[in-house]
Structure 1
Amino acid sequence: MSMIATLSHPKAGKPAAQYVYRDAEGQPVLVANRYVRGEGKFFLPYDVLTGAWSAPEHRPLYRLDHLVAANENRPVILVEGEKCADALAGLGFVATTTFGGAQAAHKADLSPLRGREVIIWPDKDEPGLKYAEGLALTLHRDFDTQPKIIPTSDQVLHKVTYPSGDGLDASLAYPKGWDAADAVAEGWTVGQIKKLAQLATPLAYAKASGEPQAAEPPANDSLFEDIEFWHTPDKRPFASIRREGHWESFALEGGAFKQLLAYAEYRSTGKTPPSARLEDMVRQMVGQALFEGPQRPAFLRIGKTAQGFALDLGTPDWSSVEVTPEGWQHRQAKEPRFRRSHGLAPLPIPVAGSADVGLLRDFVNVGSDADFQLVVGWLLGALRPDGPYPILVLSGEQGSAKSTTTKVLRSLVDPSTLETRSFPGDERDLVIAAQGAHVLAFDNLSRVKPAMADCLCRLSTGGGFATRKLHSDADEVLFQATRPIILNGIPDLAERADLADRAIILTLPTIPESARSFESDFWERFEAARPRILAGLLDAASHALAHSASVRLAERPRLADFARWVTAAEPALDWPEGAFLAAYQANRRESEAVAIDNNMVAALVLQLMQERREWRGTANELIQAIRSRFRAETESAETFPRKPNHFGSELRRVTPLLRRQGVTVEHLREAKERRRIIRLTLGLGEASLGYSLA
């Protein structure tokens, strides 16, 4: 040993450091002499057996005597360089390396690693990764050992050093060549090193060529700071990922998650995964989410919390505003879990103490204070985590700012990169639109077809939709939700009684040319006011959460929960008590009048009942009675159904409307013949006071 300590190369002189390679019995075999010249370093080997300044052809592993003495169930960490092995051994790990680094690893005797659990810790650079892959291939091919390789991306190392994300500077990058010795010098603990080792993954091996393929996809939790798999009640798989100190949630089968996953692996390994492997990774995660993950709801823009609700601001840091009966606060939190569509746009960050809903009056073209209260009420209703929601119908001439008002209102609750859209052609397209937005805004409609009016009604007050999955005849996609809706157009859009029954219908006044604003100026002023308007809405929503349970309505209209919610918020808006309910009931009466005018069956039944207190007969007999009395009005089969079954369906649809006008409709069966009979009765309602088609 004294001879080794006094070694001096004839030209290079005495080394700066020496690393002795020993055989299994602990006898010296090779001395790696380290020299430093300026900023560079080099090694000169000394063969102890021959006394020559050269490396033997067959070289033992470094610290071999310690390796064979260790219990065989202990993992072996294989590093690049003696300094790294000694640093890990100093913490109690079984560690080794090969002499000559990446260029000479093939000359090392790796047989002592046969059957052992081997974890390779490469230097953080390209040569280090090639060294690790070459060793892994040799151990797998020649020694029936399948080692794992530790990932060394900044993201993985950050996860180990800052497990909670606290104090992490996302811009911090570990230097090229960073290794195990650096980790120990920086104060890494045994626990941190064990955690990093747990993130190691095996190499993929080519079956024919014998060349190493790219590493297997890193473990899911090594790609991100943290990841959780879960599924929704309707069995949609999701992942929640911690990135840069905050949580984000993604649908596993969506394109956005696949793009993120591919990028994360690139950051981790320096290589982009092939499409087939990416699909395999996603399928594995889907299985974990569906069969191992917990069940929880995925919210879009507004999510329920224990005390109230949270509003997703749509910002890159995934922050939200939590609203409770005590107030609201801007925060970052994992719960509730939000999902985001491609079209979701950010809301402004509201500032507490700056609230002023009254600023909105300058940006919506309404004709009266009552109409403004209805607009604000609709916005407050749209902030409820659950429906039902009224349908806001805006009509008016050209130049009445219908589209602008629609954009303004939507941008205060659920802004989108697609501010308004044309009306969908069928139920499937409507469901697709509803899956991607909390607020649906349809622009410049000419008419709502009966079938689509039924869909809007279900979407407004809650109902299920079922459609076939694309490219499948067997799989059925179920969708159940309620959504706030805005419709705008020149004509009356709520022609059908059931749609009008769920609507707030406003006719916007025409804006004189001299009073119109420049569009750029208008939106600049609105963007400045938007945070304060939103803060005012949040103040009102908090007040509604605190007091809605104690509100007692003198009348309970359709959508009574919505009416109670807005009524509870009146003090926060400085409205007189009962102001909203009065405006809402007046609007409903106007809507009913419009619905009657647009529905020939309702209008003619009311007119018929002005002449009698009761009418009784079959559907066919009622059709004949109306047609004989109002020939001109019933000429068109499109507006007045002739077939009894179609007429009966339409009569049932307008029954609630007729009841509020004083006409009760009953569908009976006669005792003997069991004929289906319709009975109309005139009570003490508005119809008894007189109704005219004119």
Structure 2
Amino acid sequence: MTPSDIKALRHHKAGTPTAQHSYRSAKGEVVLIANRFDRTGGGKFFLPYTIDSQSWTAPDSRPLYRLPELLASKPDSIVIITEGEKCADALASLGYITTTTFGGASSAHKTDLSPVQGCRVVIWPDNDDPGRKYADQIATALCTGFSTKAHILQIADFPVQIAEFHATNGTDHNSANIDENPVEICAGWDAADAISNGWGVAEIDALIAHALQADEKPVLSNEVAPGRSLADIEVWKTPDGEPYATLRLDGHFEHWPIASAAFKKFLSYQHYQDTGKMLSQSALDDQRRTYEGQALFDGEAHPVFNRIGTLGRTLYVDIGDVSWKAIAINSEGWQVIDHPPARFTRARSMQPLAMPAMSGGDINLLRPFLNTANEADFQMLIAWLIGCFHPKGPYPILILNGEQGSAKSTTARVLRNLIDPANPIARSAPNSEQDLVIAAKHNHVLAFDNLSTIKPMMADAFCRIATGGGFGTRKLHTDSEEMLFSATRPCLLNGIPDLAGRPDLADRAIVVSLPVIAPTDRAFEGEFNKALDAQMPLILAGLLDAVSTALENLATVRLAERPRMADFAKWVSAAEPALGWTQGAFLAAYAANRESGDRMSVEGNPVGLAILKLVQDDGRWSGTMTELKTTLRNRYPLLTDDPYSFPRQENKLSAAIRRIIPPLRRMRVVISFDRSGHSGERTLRIERA
């Protein structure tokens, strides 16, 4: 936004601000505007405006006010932290290095204080209880998080402090403006009030010097118990009511479930560091439950993400490294950022992504590392990768099949490492919905290796988690509480047999059959991995370019036809310009893949294949479900002898037929149900379209 755009900001309810203060990044770019509004009956209030999201909200991670001036100062400079931008600007006009945080005492923990680490810090609070609370929180955060001592000015004693300093140092006190302009230090009195009442450099230097010479211990709130205070631990909850804690560690933010074993171990370790003693188990549980209660009843609600999340019009990807960096992607491009506003949680299995190259990205560099039979299959794998970045889903299920030696597991590993690397990279088949839910809670991509078959119950679960659905189970150690989980996740399955035999699963799947690799063409795993690692930054950069292009074009893409998984099709079509594909190339490849999937789902389904043969032989057929069962069993015994694949009960056979109707319809076989006669007997008619 230009300065004129910022000046022209107008809130839809509050109107035009009476004053504005710009928070800038280290590069000097405006990232946050603090807008002041005056109330009609007196008083004021502030509303934030975030440049990145172009919304009247404040980002979760905020820079210090006047950050470029702070970074340009000498390392041994005295930094004055005030409560409010007006006070900071007033002191800066006298030549002081000043800063503040946006949001006052309640939001000080959301500001990155690392730029003042190691500086000589003086805090000038407002003369009221919120001001003292603000000063205590800032001082505590600097002391415990950055080993930086802060000196809080005691406002009520200002006249005495100034007089004592001049008397002790033998300086001329008679010329001080405070003698000529005595003021009453009332509630709410601040640095801007002092300067407007005639205080100058002499008085302020005296106050700072008096505070620095006091050589007091680091200032901590008397109410803070041993261990980290809420200035360092922000407690909050998810929209589903799960309590979380945000910790500042080594200059970055981490987000931990309060109920996790890791958070309990952290509390125990922190107490030992502070006191040299270990907490008893009961005291540790009490402290954890205290944080949990504060999160549930006082904490703000924020969404939590695993690897990929979206806020506003920006998509964030957790890199997974020790510094908790992330990639921010929007319609204008992408960049690596240090403090993402999206709150990510991490599982122990998560592994870091490759650091993307800042230029020269090319998704086509992935070709030598994927064993595909043709260009259409390569396009389907790239489309699935791009689909995994969709902010909400749905996500097609990628099914890789092929003989032994067709590099199914290697292909799955390469694909997942571009989005959500983990250790292990793939798991064995889940035995229950609960296993699938646990995997989904801790992974963005669900990858399962060497499957022999997919049980009907698990096929239904895969369909729900790919397109969006809820799961519920009894909460542990309770009789009546239910634990609910709702999520949409990309899934990757591989195996030798055709895994898309169930029609509803095939309808949501991209199926790619991998060719066998000749013995003379096989690569040594070490050489393969070394070559892949060298190209991975450029491949990932090309993938991010495509995602940015999808965000840019999504609103303008129009599909002539809307296939199943239409949101996925629209998303990938929006990314085509960055992939070098001609317009409509993806939809053509996707249609061909779905047609192939239809054939495989029918050919792998004894009920569907028997009906297809019946139509091929007779052209059309009509009758009751009992008559159809008898006809099929008599005419095609090899397809219908197995009671597990060809149901014997009419109601179960009817359900199996209804599942196979969509792919048969796309193969120009129409099945319709009707009732006839006075008794309303159900009949069905099968014919070619």
User: What is the TM-score normalised by the length of structure 2?
Assistant: 0.68
Query: Which structure 2 residues correspond to residues 178-257 of structure 1 after superposition, within 5 A?
Result: 196-198=219-221, 200-201=223-224, 217-218=226-227, 220-221=229-230, 226-257=232-263
- Structure 1 residues 156, 460: CA separation in 2 closer, same or farther (over 3 Å shift)? closer
Give how far 1:489 is off. 1.1
Give how far 1:514 is off. 1.6
- Structure 1 residues 334, 322: CA separation in 2 closer, same or farther (over 3 Å shift)? closer
1:296 is the counterpart of 2:302: yes
CA contact (8 A) 1:151 1:269 kept: no
Query: Which structure 2 residues correspond to residues 214-613 of structure 1 after superposition, within 5 A?
Result: 217-218=226-227, 220-221=229-230, 226-610=232-616
Letter in 2 for 1:228: E
Letter in 1 for 2:266: L
Give how far 1:377 is off. 0.7
CA distance in 2 between counterparts of 1:160 and 1:653 reads 69
Letter in 2 for 1:366: T
CA distance in 1 between counterparts of 2:289 and 2:447 reads 35
Give how far 1:505 is off. 0.9
CA contact (8 A) 2:233 2:248 kept: yes
Matched position secondary structure for 1:445? coil
Give how far 1:219 is off. 5.6
Letter in 1 for 2:382: V
1:158 is the counterpart of 2:147: yes
Cα shift readout 1:232-270 (whole Å, capped 9, x = no counterpart):
122111111222222111111111212222222223333
Query: Which structure 2 residues correspond to residues 137-148 of structure 1 after superposition, within 5 A?
Result: none
Cα shift readout 1:582-636 (whole Å, capped 9, x = no counterpart):
1111111111111111111111222223455654443223212322332343222
Matched position secondary structure for 1:196? coil
Query: Which structure 2 residues correspond to residues 51-200 of structure 1 after superposition, within 5 A?
Result: 155=144, 158=147, 161=150, 196-198=219-221, 200=223
CA distance in 2 between counterparts of 1:555 and 1:660 reads 14
Alignment partner of 2:679 out of 654, 659, 673: 673
CA distance in 2 between counterparts of 1:330 and 1:187 reads 44
Letter in 1 for 2:477: H
CA distance in 2 between counterparts of 1:509 and 1:644 reads 40
Matched position secondary structure for 1:493? coil
CA distance in 1 between counterparts of 2:213 and 2:244 reads 34
CA distance in 2 between counterparts of 1:581 and 1:524 reads 34
Give how far 1:191 is off. 13
- Structure 1 residues 659, 678: CA separation in 2 closer, same or farther (over 3 Å shift)? farther
Cα shift readout 1:296-324 (whole Å, capped 9, x = no counterpart):
21110000121131000001111100100
1:619 alignment counterpart: 625
CA distance in 2 between counterparts of 1:351 and 1:162 reads 44
Give how far 1:334 is off. 4.6
Matched position secondary structure for 1:283? helix
Cα shift readout 1:118-151 (whole Å, capped 9, x = no counterpart):
xxxxxxxxxxxxxxxxxxxxxxxxxxxxxxxx99
CA distance in 2 between counterparts of 1:367 and 1:395 reads 12
Give how far 1:651 is off. 1.2
CA distance in 2 between counterparts of 1:566 and 1:471 reads 45
1:637 alignment counterpart: 643
CA contact (8 A) 1:229 1:237 kept: yes
Residue identity (%): 45
- Structure 1 residues 235, 394: CA separation in 2 closer, same or farther (over 3 Å shift)? same
Unaligned runs of 5+ in 2: 1-138, 153-206
CA contact (8 A) 1:151 1:218 kept: no
Letter in 2 for 1:664: V
Cα shift readout 1:495-514 (whole Å, capped 9, x = no counterpart):
11111111111111111222
CA distance in 2 between counterparts of 1:187 and 1:357 reads 62
CA contact (8 A) 1:153 1:269 kept: no
- Structure 1 residues 288, 667: CA separation in 2 closer, same or farther (over 3 Å shift)? farther
- Structure 1 residues 219, 363: CA separation in 2 closer, same or farther (over 3 Å shift)? closer
Matched position secondary structure for 1:247? strand
Matched position secondary structure for 2:447? strand
User: What is the TM-score normalised by the length of structure 1?
Assistant: 0.68
CA distance in 2 between counterparts of 1:313 and 1:399 reads 32
Give how far 1:286 is off. 1.0
Matched position secondary structure for 2:372? coil
1:102 alignment counterpart: none
CA distance in 1 between counterparts of 2:488 and 2:321 reads 24
Letter in 2 for 1:233: P
Unaligned runs of 5+ in 1: 1-149, 164-183, 202-215, 685-694
CA distance in 2 between counterparts of 1:156 and 1:270 reads 18
1:25 alignment counterpart: none
CA contact (8 A) 1:160 1:192 kept: no
CA distance in 1 between counterparts of 2:406 and 2:613 reads 34
CA distance in 1 between counterparts of 2:637 and 2:208 reads 98
Cα shift readout 1:136-195 (whole Å, capped 9, x = no counterpart):
xxxxxxxxxxxxxx99995267376499xxxxxxxxxxxxxxxxxxxx999857999899
Matched position secondary structure for 2:412? helix
Alignment partner of 2:687 out of 669, 679, 682: 682
CA distance in 2 between counterparts of 1:427 and 1:191 reads 64
Give how far 1:671 is off. 7.3
CA distance in 2 between counterparts of 1:287 and 1:219 reads 16
How many aligned positions are there? 497
CA distance in 2 between counterparts of 1:192 and 1:413 reads 52
CA distance in 2 between counterparts of 1:186 and 1:255 reads 46
CA distance in 2 between counterparts of 1:192 and 1:678 reads 94
Cα shift readout 1:356-402 (whole Å, capped 9, x = no counterpart):
11111111111111111111111000111211111111111111111
1:659 alignment counterpart: 665
- Structure 1 residues 614, 679: CA separation in 2 closer, same or farther (over 3 Å shift)? farther
Give how far 1:458 is off. 0.9
